[in-house]
A and B are shown apart, each in its own frame.
Chain A
Amino acid sequence: MASVLHGWRAARVTPLGELHTPPRMTAVLLRLTVQVVLVASLWRGLYAHTGTTAGLTREQAVTYAVLAVLASRLRELDQYAGRDTVIQHMHFGTIVYWYLRPLPPQRYYALRALGEQLYGLAWALFGYAICLAAGVVEPPRSAAVAGVFALSMLLGQWVLYYVMLLLDQLCFFTIRNNSAMLILIFAQNLMSGVYAPLWFFPDWFITLSGFLPFQATLSVPLSIYVGRIELSDAGAQLAVQAAWVLVLALFTRRVWRRAARRVISQGG
């Protein structure tokens, strides 16, 4: 038990940092509110003259879009201001401390990310509760849908964690990852369905997206929630998500080993 809990306080870094910086919390609240209102208005406007588009009703589309906004909050914290991104640790040479503690860097990174995602989840649940009460989003159709959605969301966040980790690991080899980060944010938002549900895109795009992990992060769980993916088909989608988790876990593990050999030349 002791080894399981070893270093658990690292998970508190992000929530504590945010709580000690009230202006950042206010900014998050404002941004979320504006985004939810605008996204809900946009999709209602798009459906003003039609009942169903791309197989999606207005309620489904609005629910999907608003949940996508809330879920994107899960790992979009202002680590940069806290000087706690891998790129900053590389820049300031403080990455060496990750290798000078009796806690493997990969475990420390995972604990930090867990804390971030739990903190982000609190925001997302808060927003969800308000949107649900205000009738902006629809509740899940059944308890079974809610349960499968929760499982799929967990797997999706796990995939997202590894994708973000890969980008951070890139810093060990290229020092900077800004361009890759911009590309990823765009690809992630586009292919996971944050900008628009994937069914609005052409077939070739949906096929291409199927070969990349982004769809597994958000599009799959949200599609389960709104009923676009039926529970009878959810098993296959969950298996694909689990496969992405496994592949990315093995790959990032190898990269951690190689990164350890690079830490000196890049980290000062």
Chain B
Amino acid sequence: MSGSIEVRGLSRTFHTTVRRPGFGGALRSLVNPEKVAKHAVCDVTFSVAPGELLALLGPNGAGKSTTIKMLTGILTPSAGEARVAGVVPYEERERNARNIGTVFGQRTQLWWDLPVRESFAILRDIYEVPKAEHAARLQEFDDLLDLSSFWDTRVRHLSLGQRVRSDLAAALLHDPPVVFLDEPTIGMDVVVKEQVREFLRHQVEERGRTVLLTTHDMTEVERLAERVVLINHGRLVLDGTLDEIRRRFGSTWQVRVTLADPHTEVGGLPGVALLRREGPQAVFGPDGPDAPTVHQALKQVIERYEVTDLALDEADLEDVMRAAYVHAGPAAEGA
């Protein structure tokens, strides 16, 4: 089954009541409520190929979760269309449910009073997974997530890391081709985070699952995502690779080199500007919107000049994303 995700012009508008301030305002809102339309997602178009991991990024309230809810079928779009593994999710919710696995960080789907393994058994029954297949998959997940050390413990007694690992396994026990992960590692320690990342990498690379991930953890994005879709104020502002995002918003890298010959003339590298020159030391930075990435610039410098020492300062992805969020804000949109 193809695990692709196709999204075309997806929009969702919520109608909410304005709460006026103060006692009088509250009374007026009660007697004469004023409704306003809030466009949570506006005309979003993107696709995810089978076996691809895409990070859906954006600041809080950008529309990421609303998009995921439409793709999982629990919310019907106001306009546009979506297909997940060939199914229109909000039209065939139950059929779609068989094709997807979902983890909403901090919200467990496991039964609080039961041991983890009992929860898995209930889900096996709900998804009608053959017993042998279930056992084999559980074994595979145990190898990757070390579930057996706590799967006879009741969910209420699990640590957050144990619970999220159990939730990940629960979401994939029915072998879905598409997985939606909404901030799955929020609040987890670095060791468990890395274990989860390894698990996700395995699911994408070895099992060919399509993963749509939302997260605010940029390390996670760097380690896992091949492609990124950035949305802000409900609109898609960028769909590309991490390099493209860096090129567009991460303009703060600097390459510092010490030249073997202090009299060497420097300059003329495409997209690279000479920022400072002090004797044998030269500092280069990006020049214009078509500037190369720091790694490409480094390669150019080394190929052109004889260098005895070098250092580079690169804005990390968090800085880049901060710049992207600011530039992709409402002011930028209106510009």
Contact = CB atoms under 8 A, between A and B. Distances in A.
Given A84-B112, A93-B107, A99 B121 contact: no
Given A7-B125, A9-B121, A101-B126, A17 B74 contact: no
B73 interface: yes
Contacts of A10: 122, 125-126
A81 B125 contact: no
Nearest to B14: A265
Interface in A1-54: 2, 6-10, 12-13, 16-17, 20-21
Interface in B44-101: 69, 72-75, 93-95, 97-98, 100
- Interface bin, chain A: 20 to 34
B114 interface: yes
A10 B126 CA distance: 8
Nearest to B167: A97
Interface residues of B, number: 33
Contacts of A97: 102, 107, 109
A96 interface: yes
B121 A84 contact: no
Contacts of B72: 96, 100
B107 A94 contact: yes
Contacts of A100: 72-74, 97, 100, 102, 109
B104 A96 contact: yes
Contacts of A21: 113
Given A96-B104, A264-B74, A264-B75, A84 B125 contact: no
Contacts of B115: 20
A111 to B, nearest CB: 10
B252 interface: no
Contacts of A6: 125-126, 128
A81 B128 contact: no
Contact of A81 (B100, B113, B126): B113
B98 A102 contact: yes
Given A84-B113, A102-B94, A263 B125 contact: no
Interface string B118-135: 100111111110000000
A130 interface: no
B114 A99 contact: no
B284 to A, nearest CB: 48
A101 B107 contact: no
B108 interface: yes
Contacts of A83: 112-113, 156
